Structure 1
Amino acid sequence: MENIILRASGEKGQVRVFVGVTTELVEEARRRHNTSPLATAALGRVLTAGALMGAMLKEGQEVSLQFIGDGPLGAIFVIADSKGNVRGYVRHPEVELDLNDKGKLDVAKGLGKGMLYVLKDLGLKEPYKGSVPFVSGEIGEDLTYYFTKSEQTPSAVGLGVLINPDLTVKAAGGFILQLLPHAEEEVIQKLENNLKKFSNGVTPLIDAGKGPEELLALLLEGIEYKITERRNVRFKCKCNRERLERVVINLGEDEARDILEKENKLELTCHFCNEKYVFGEEDVDKLFAENKD
């Protein structure tokens, strides 16, 4: 199944919506990082949020989400760009906890108390930076608070990840619904009523076979709207061997050779995608010979 994000505008610019299905995106992250069900749910929600927020960007821009808490998961880092590329990781992917009192994966307890940081590289001299404390650690509620508090945009954010018995991802997706200036009370009331259809979350609807278009229709039922963009999103990292070669050079020749002597290889792992890059003695000799200056 493709990972699709839709962008739509409703009632002559009174509301905008970003909605998508990200099942394969989240499954790719689970596979790469070998995450526990709890870590899959937490990372998957933030990856989905990143994909949705990436659809807000203009060409060449990038957004970074950082959920840094005092719970056992530690922190979640996700970066998304304007081309639909999303990457991310959770600091402690192996963590498992008991289900919460609703019988669901306890993402809030996994993250604990902490801060959400949003950084946007908009091509300006300095990146935009915004931050808010966690409201609940449930990701969606924290982002809802962020948009209202830091960007002064009343919003509703729904994010979800459903896990199969074999621990793979069964369904993942979400939405960001935002009121724009001069939204009429009648429109607001319709949206509030429509959001009640998502009271059990977004993933049961996705699991039942509903795609982005159908989710959008539920969110904007009774409201005239237009889809303004349809985009594919994917888990894709920027790392490559050349980038990691620069990391080896920055280690310094003495430290690089010390690691080689102890380990018989120099292995570096990208945090964001868990790809491993191995450098042998000949590789290190060549790198430092080429960079003597």
Structure 2
Amino acid sequence: MKDYIVRATAAGGQVRAFAITCKNTVEEARSRHNMSPIGTIALGRLLAGGAMMGTMMKNDDDVLTIQIKGNGPIGAMTVTANAKGEVKGMVANPEVMLPLKDGKIDIAGAVGIGVLSVIKDIGLREPYIGDTILITSEIAEDLTYYFATSEQVPSSVGLGVLMNNDNTVREAGGFIIQLMPNASEEFIDKLEERIKSVKSITYMLEEGMSPEQILEHILGDMDLEILDTIDTGFKCNCSKERVSKAVISIGREELSKMIADNKPIEVNCHFCNTHYNFTIDELQDMYNKATH
């Protein structure tokens, strides 16, 4: 099944909702970065949340970046997404392993205590940056807290990744439910009770629920209206040309040292782990283009 995001509204516009299925996206990230189960689940949750949040952006050129910097062994995680459903992500220590905690994979222990940052580049001189502390380090609750404190939007976020025994991704997905400013107190109370009673996102994924079925499960009797669906997937915008510009930016002094070594260099993209090789002649050409 392809990966996609559903956008919806309910209760006459008092709530907006997003749901995603992204098994292939998370599996591609796992494969590219050779991630352990902990790395896959942690980054997979952030990829699912980031992809949905990316579709909240208004313009195709807008870019959303989520960074989690905790003191746990997994290190920093970064996910970048846009309004077209394209998402990519990286984790500092993708192969991290920890013992189980209470019989479960210890995501909070891997992430540790720290800060969640959301950076929105919408073409203004300065990007919008919202920082919040990590509340549980389980990612979904941390995004819920971010929405409430930084954007003043009461939200409920559910994110999940299920693994196969061979360390491939079995299911991945999630939802974001957000109250709109016109929501009545009566509806808010009803929705809060509903959120408390819904099955966990892990259960919904285990049952093979589609994004539409997830939203139906939560908002089905609240005049749920599906607005549109957006294909989503792991997509990196790196290229040899972009990487060469980055190499040029290090300056002539460093480039001259590389040329003097008389060996080709290899540069890796952190997001997709693609390797780019540059010959001595290409390095010389970059040196000629460098301005300092």
Distance 2:226 2:248 in 1: 48
Residues 88-118 of structure 1 show CA distances to partners (whole Å, capped at 9, x for unaligned) of: 10111111101121x2211111111000011
Q: Which residue of 1 aligns with 2:175?
A: 175
SS in 1 for 2:249: helix
- Per the alignment, residue 280 of structure 1 pairs with 279
Deviations 1:3-29 (CA, angstroms, capped at 9, x unpaired): 110111111111110111011111111
| Amino acid aligned to 1:58 | K
1:243 and 2:242 aligned: yes
CA distance in 2, matches of 1:126, 1:239: 23
Query: Are the structure 2 counterparts of residues 267 and 216 from structure 1 closer, same or farther at C-alpha, using a change threshold of 3 Å?
Result: same
Partner Cα separation in structure 2 for residue 161 and residue 113 of structure 1: 21
Q: Report SS of the residue matched to 1:218.
A: helix
RMSD over equivalenced CA pairs, Å: 1.8
Return the offset for 1:186. 4.2
- 1:256 aligned partner, one-letter code: L
Tell me how far 1:283 sits from its aligned partner: 1.5
Q: Which residue of 2 aligns with 1:224?
A: 223
Deviation of 1:291 after TM superposition, in Å, equals 4.9
| Equivalent position of 2:269 in the other structure | 270
1:252, 1:122 → 2: CA distance?
A: 29
Aligned partner of 1:213 in structure 2 is 212
Partner SS for 2:13: coil
CA distance in 2, matches of 1:145, 1:139: 10
1:202 offset after TM fit, Å? 1.5
Q: Is the 8 A contact 2:55 2:83 kept in 1?
A: yes
Q: Which residue of 1 aligns with 2:257?
A: 258
Residue-pair matches, total: 291
Per the TM alignment, residue 227 of structure 1 is displaced from its structure 2 partner at its CA by 1.2
Given that 1:163 and 1:171 are in contact with CA atoms closer than 8 Å, whether structure 2 keeps it comes out as yes
Q: CA deviation at 1:207?
A: 3.2
User: TM-score scaled to structure 2, two decimals?
Assistant: 0.94
Q: Is the 8 A contact 2:236 2:271 kept in 1?
A: yes
Question: Corresponding residue for 1:91?
Answer: 92
1:64 matched to which residue of 2? 65
Gap regions ≥5 residues in structure 1? none
Closer, same or farther in 2 for the Cα pair 1:241/1:123, shift >3 Å?
Answer: same
Q: Distance in 1 between matches of 2:18 and 2:173?
A: 11
Match of 1:108 in 2: 108
Say if 2:10 and 2:225, in contact at 8 Å, map to a contact too: yes
Structure 1: 4+ residue segments shifted above 6 A = none
Matched, 1:165 2:165: yes
The answer to whether the 8 Å contact 2:67/2:116 transfers is yes
Q: Which range moves more in the overlay, 169-178 or 51-60?
A: 51-60
- Separation in 2, partners of 1:41, 1:105: 9
Q: Any conservation in 1 of the 2:255–2:287 contact (CA below 8 Å)?
A: no
Q: Is the 8 A contact 1:66 1:117 kept in 2?
A: yes
Task: Give TM-score scaled by structure 1 length.
Answer: 0.93
3-state secondary structure, aligned to 1:227: strand
After superposition, what is the alpha-carbon deviation per residue over 1:178-212, rounded to whole angstroms, capped at 9, x for unaligned?
1112323443344334434544x323322322111
Structure 2 unaligned runs (5+)?
Answer: none
Deviations 1:106-164 (A, max 9, x none): 11111110000111112223221111101010000111111111111111100011111
2:263 maps to a residue whose letter is N
Whether 2:23 is the aligned partner of 1:23: answer yes
Residue by residue over 1:165-190, the C-alpha shift from the partner in whole angstroms, topping out at 9 and shown as x without a partner, is: 11011100001101112323443344
Structure 1 residues 208-256: Cα deviation after superposition (integer angstroms, max 9, x where no partner) = 2211111110010210021112100111111101111112212234423
Identity between Structure 1 and Structure 2 (%): 45
